[in-house]
Chains A and B, each alone.
Chain A
């Protein structure tokens, strides 16, 4: 039962959030230029790592902000959270933002 740090509301229980999946996939910047392969990769393919994962969560019962979260899919440890436009990658080595 995770405690997720909303960039606005601070630490809140996971039950206030909803999950949005892999946040390393990016909606094609220029949709018209994206190839079918780009779209296929975006819509259907996942790294699905066993370990650190960057993922979307929405603080749906709170401030309704979508945020990125680093989480270990094996241990359920949490790393940093970031706003959508802030960089965050699975191998970001900063353990947490404490």
Chain B
């Protein structure tokens, strides 16, 4: 029997490495990278079970998610991101898919839903990354308002997007702030093209697609 082995992202072949509007010897204002092979496990607690869910997540991911809205933490297994009231995303890398373990651990307390195939992830970094985000979203991206460990679900031009700040000017000096942007797969092409257009005036380097969710 034939086996399907490879995951195929809608950005496959569309986000290959190249430079856009970078003068010779100049430095890009931003870098974009397509992050591949991510597992996204959504865990949503039933009424009254938030604390129990967080405890289960701590067990599986190695640290507890921040209970505060719009906060994300780096856990040993991946990133834990608040995505709604009593609801979190655990973002991990293939092949470590924690979904079934988590489902087992939370059978009474939470609904576990996989979302990794439904989203694409672009990593946006660099000096002008905050300006690029401001072309799509109305959130305040000033470093005093949106720094490492902050995340937000918002609109980015015409689509919804989860923005996770995984490093900022302080934590990643020289790199500039780093954001992971998660958006729906069905509009992935538009999402990528929009990001490239918004980044182009600043000089944009598209990096070879990569895997992993760790901060640079």
Contact = CB atoms under 8 A, between A and B. Distances in A.
Given A61-B155, A63-B153, A9 B138 contact: no
Contacts of A63: 69, 83-85, 87, 153
Interface residues of A, number: 12
Contacts of A8: 69-70, 84-85
Given A8-B69, A8-B85, A9-B70, A62 B152 contact: yes
B215 interface: no
A91 interface: no
Interface residues of B, number: 13
A25 interface: no
Nearest to B161: A61
B49 interface: no
B155 A9 contact: no
Interface of A: 8-10, 12-13, 15-16, 61-65
22 contacts: A8-B85, A9-B69, A9-B152, A9-B153, A12-B138, A12-B154, A13-B139, A15-B138, A15-B155, A16-B138, A16-B154, A61-B153, A61-B154, A61-B155, A61-B160, A62-B152, A62-B153, A62-B154, A63-B69, A63-B84, A63-B87, A65-B85
